[in-house]
């Protein structure tokens, strides 16, 4: 029986042009640059312009990716868009992107696992390909987080930014694990739902004058519980996936963590005994772009020429839900 491996053959990123600095935020809320940098590691983030949406950013990243890997959009079997900020509740942003890029043969859907959306999407696409059902899947993490931020709440508005990252997943006729996606893990803990959420706009609190007046359509977070759960969850899942695959820190060329907070990244990196050059960070320039953080980091590695064939990449993330995910990939 034929066995398939899932190769990631390319990665691209797209960010809005507008830069929102910590100095800009000082004029908007009671905060300052030193407070933001010391607690998060963020210095700037990108903010979408009017008319820039999750689908426009995602489609731009997808077109850039198809050019990079020299693939026709008609070859794409499926499109998965990881996002918590779709253009609208219905239809999916994936369907809108499909039309924008001309991938007329592709099935499409959005996936919401918050900041772990890209990793959950990668695990899902990997299963589609390894079963032999599909051979070409476009996976996009795209967010316009500024659309759900309360710029009067300094605990959340300093953290997030907008952007999109895309990867092209392709079936390869080699033994699973020898190349491409080696393994993925996914966990969820719904008891943490109360600590990071957007209360308004769903079936519990449909949009109304009351929900708007109470600012219920913006992200709300209790930083302490989220921070503790993130450090514990990301370190635990990274250790588990390495142990499961008989690997150690010395086997890892690059660690690509979700870009939520530099202190979380540092805690995980120290637990894994990783060297600074192994850890990939773009948080300082783009903030937390939620489902887009990991693919945009991969794109930087590709663009810099560092992510050559055979490199081992460990990815890990944590997000609202709570969700937690990890992936091991042998690139190329």
Catalytic residue numbers, as ranges: 115, 258, 288
The DSSP annotation for 88-100 comes to SSSS-HHHHHHHH
Q: What is the rounded distance in angstroms from the CA atom of residue 48 to the CA atom of residue 75?
A: 30
Q: Which two tokens stand for residue 208?
A: 């109304």
Q: What is the rounded distance in angstroms from the CA atom of residue 239 to the CA atom of residue 113?
A: 21
Strands 323-330 and 180-188: what pairing? Answer: antiparallel
Q: How many residues belong to the chain? A: 332
Q: Where are the alpha helices (DSSP H) in 175-292?
A: 209-213, 223-244, 262-271, 283-286
Q: Which two tokens stand for residue 96?
A: 């809108």
Distances (CA, A) of 64 to 14, 15, 168, 303: 9, 12, 11, 12
205: left (phi over 0), alpha (psi -120 to 50) or beta: beta
Q: Which two tokens stand for residue 75?
A: 């070859």
Which H or E run includes 59? helix 54-69
Backbone angles phi, psi at 99, to 5 degrees: -70, -40
**b or e along 23-51 (b: 16 or more beta carbons within 10 Å of the residue's beta carbon)?**
eebeeebebeeeebeebbbbbbbbbbeee
Q: Is the dihedral of CA 246, 250, 120, 180 positive or negative?
A: negative
156: left (phi over 0), alpha (psi -120 to 50) or beta: alpha
User: Cβ contacts of residue 264 below 8 Å, gap of 6+?
Assistant: 227, 230, 231, 234, 257, 318
């Amino acid at each position: 029986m034929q066995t398939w491996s899932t190769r990631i053959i390319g990665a691209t990123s797209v960010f809005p042009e507008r830069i929102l600095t910590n100095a800009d935020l000082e004029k908007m809320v009671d905060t300052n640059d030193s407070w933001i940098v010391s607690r998060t590691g963020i210095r700037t983030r990108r903010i979408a312009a009017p008319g820039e949406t999750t689908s426009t950013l995602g489609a731009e990243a997808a077109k850039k990716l198809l050019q990079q890997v020299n693939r026709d959009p008609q070859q794409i079997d499926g499109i998965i868009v990881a996002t918590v900020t779709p253009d609208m509740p219905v239809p999916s942003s994936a369907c809108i992107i499909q039309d924008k890029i001309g991938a007329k043969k592709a099935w499409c859907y959005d996936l919401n696992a918050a900041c772990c959306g890209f990793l959950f999407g990668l695990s899902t696409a990997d299963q589609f390909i390894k079963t032999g059902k599909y051979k070409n899947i476009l996976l996009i993490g795209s967010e316009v987080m500024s659309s759900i931020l309360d710029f009067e709440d300094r605990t959340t508005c300093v953290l997030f930014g907008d952007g999109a990252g895309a990867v092209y997943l392709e079936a390869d006729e080699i033994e699973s694990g020898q190349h491409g996606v080696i393994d993925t893990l996914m966990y969820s803990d719904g008891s943490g739902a109360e600590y990071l959420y957007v209360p308004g706009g769903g079936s519990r609190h449909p949009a109304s004058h009351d929900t708007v007046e109470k600012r219920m359509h913006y992200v709300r977070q209790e930083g302490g519980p989220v921070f503790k759960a993130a450090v514990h969850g990301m370190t635990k899942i990274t250790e588990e996936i390495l142990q499961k695959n008989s690997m150690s820190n010395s086997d890892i060329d690059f660690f690509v963590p979700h870009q939520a907070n530099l202190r979380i990244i540092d805690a995980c990196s120290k637990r894994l005994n990783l060297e600074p050059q192994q850890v990939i960070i773009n948080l300082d320039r783009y903030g937390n772009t939620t489902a887009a953080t990991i693919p945009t980091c991969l794109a930087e590695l590709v663009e810099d020429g560092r992510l050559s064939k055979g490199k081992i990449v460990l990815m890990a993330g944590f997000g609202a839900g709570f969700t937690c995910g990890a992936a091991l990939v042998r690139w190329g």
